[in-house]
Structure 1
C-alpha cells in the first residue's frame, strides 16, 4: 500500500501542507529471501519523490519474528535471531544511506533498576548503534531514559567528529584521534562525523548534558 500513502503525501504537499510519515517495513514480501531485494529497492525508488517527508524508516522486529514463530528472550538481542538479523541488515543496506532507520522494539520492561530487562535493552541498543540504526520505538515509558542515553555521544567521538569536520585532507590524509589511540581519516569517517555531530546536537554528549 505504499503508493496510496505516497499519493496522500504528494497531494498534501501540493496543497501547501507538509506531513511527515514513518513507513514501517514488516511484511513477508520483505522477509522472504526471494522477494526481499526487489521489494526493498522498489520501495526505495517509490519513496524518493517524498524523501523530505519521511521522518524515518521503521522495522518490525517482532513482526518478522512472528512470521517464523520466533520470540527472543530477555537474554538475547534481535541480532541473535539469525533469520531476522539478515532481514534487518538488508533493510539497512538499502535505506540507511538516505534515511534514518530506527531499531526494532525491545519486548521487555519493568521497574527501574531491574537488571534483566535493562541489561538486555542496553545490549541491543549498543548493537543498534553499531549496525547503523538510530533511535528505537519504546513500548513503555521506563524504556525512554535508556534509549535516549544510548543516543548521547561519547566525548571522544564528539571531539573526533569536530576534528574531521574541519579536516584538511590535502595537508594530512590521516591523523590520530583526540584520544590518541585510533586513526581519523576524512575519506573514511566523514559521514560518521556528520552523523555524530547531528546526534550530539539533539541528544548531547555523555556526562555533559545537551550539546
Structure 2
C-alpha cells in the first residue's frame, strides 16, 4: 500500500533521533487532559492511529482544583505504560510551574524514560529562565535527554507596546538554551481571549488580523533561516463537529471528482475540516510546521498535508544539485515555474528534511489519495 502512495517512503524515527528530525516530525501534536482515567489506553490507541506526538496537559485543559489528582493520575498511567513495553508517541507534559518538572521525573522513576520533554506555558523571558533551569534539573535527575516546547501566548506578546521587547527577551532566552528547545508553539486561543475574540469554523487564524500580526512578528524574530531560528508550530484548530455556516465551503470540487472522493469532500465539509485544511496551508505559507490538535480527527489531515509532493521534491532536488552551487535560474521540471537557486535554497533544504520524516508522494498522488488511504487503514 505504501509503495503505491510514496515515491520516497518516510524514514523511521524514535525519541532518540536528532532534535532537527524530531522538530519536523512532531506533526499533529495531540493534546489530552492528564485527568483522563484511561490515559494509558488512550495513548496506545492514538499511537496505533498514527499519532506521533502527544501532550498530556496539567494546565489550561483541567480545573485549578484538579492539579494534584491529575499529577497522581499521570504518574500512575505512565508507570502502567512503561510496564506494558509497547511503543508510544513522543510524550510531553504541559506543566503549570517549573518545580513540577523535577518533581514529576522523580515520582515517575524508571517510567520517566517515556517522556520526551515538557511544554512550558505563557513563556516570556521572566518566566522562561526558571522553567528552563528546572528542565535542566529534571533532565539531570532522570538521566535522559528532555526537550522544552515553550508556548508563546502571553498578553505582553500580543500587546503592541510590549511586543517587540517581549520577543527580544524570548529570543535571548531560547537562544541561551538552544539545545533544549525543540520547537515553539503558538497559543492563539489565549491571543484571542485577550480581546474577547473567537474565530468561527469558517475562518482561519489568519483572518483574525490581531492574531495574524502576532504570528508574522513571531516568525520574523524567531523563525529565521539564518541559523538563529526555531521550528514554530501552527495554532490549534478548535472545531470538530458540524456548525452553522455563513460562508461557502472552502474545498474545490475538482480534486475530489474521481471515485468516492466526492463523499470524502462532503464528510470533510460536514465536520468543518475545510477550514482546518485551509489553515494548515496558510500555516505552511507563513513559515509554520506541524500543528496543535485537540481532536484525533485532525491528525490525519495534518499529516497528509505534511507529505512532500512529487513536484516540491523535484524542485528541491534540482535547486540543491551540486553543480548549481554558484546560483542561477532553472526552469522547473514541471515546466510551470522558475527555480532560482540561491533564494530558494533554504526552502529546498527544509523541504527535503520534511521529505525524510513524512515521505514524498508519487507523481500521481495528492492529498485526496493520501487522506483516503489513511481513512481506509483506520477503518480496517
Query: TM-score, normalization: structure 1?
Result: 0.91
> Which residue matches 2:221?
94
Select the structure with the greater relative contact order (CA < 8 A; seq sep ≥ 6). Answer: 2
SS in 1 for 2:334: coil
1:167 Cα deviation (Å)? Answer: 4.5
CA distance in 2, matches of 1:14, 1:115: 48
Q: Aligned pair 1:154/2:309, yes or no?
A: yes
Instruction: Tell me the CA shift for residue 199 of structure 1.
Output: 0.8
**Counterpart position of 1:5:** 131
Residue number in structure 2 paired with 1:106: 237
SS at structure 2 position matched to 1:175: strand
* CA pair 106-170 structure 1, distance change in 2 beyond 3 A: closer
Unaligned runs of 5+ in 2: 1-126, 243-263, 371-380
Distance 1:174 1:139, change over 3 A: same
CA contact (8 A) 2:316 2:348 kept: yes
1:191 matched to 2:317? no
- State the alpha-carbon separation in 2 of the partners of residues 11 and 29 from structure 1: 28
Larger radius of gyration: 2
Structure 1 runs not aligned, ≥5 long: none
Cα drift, residue 11 of structure 1: 3.9
**Cα distance 1:179–1:90, how it changes in 2: closer, same or farther (>3 A)?**
same
- Kept in 1, the 8 Å contact 2:219–2:287? The answer is yes
Distance 1:58 1:170 in 2: 34
CA separation in 2, counterparts of 1:33 and 1:172? 40
Q: CA deviation at 1:86?
A: 0.4
What are the residue-to-residue correspondences of 1:46-195 with 2, within 5 Å?
46-97=173-224, 98-110=229-241, 113-116=267-270, 117-169=272-324, 173-195=328-350
Of Structure 1 and Structure 2, the greater strand share is in: 2
Cα distance 1:30–1:17, how it changes in 2: closer, same or farther (>3 A)? same
For residues 326 and 158 of structure 2, what CA distance do their matches in structure 1 show?
47
Q: Is the 8 A contact 1:9 1:50 kept in 2?
A: no
Following the alignment from structure 1 to structure 2, what is the Cα–Cα distance between the partners of residues 10 and 184?
43
Distance 1:184 1:173 in 2: 9
Q: Secondary structure at the match of 2:211?
A: helix
CA RMSD after TM alignment: 2.0
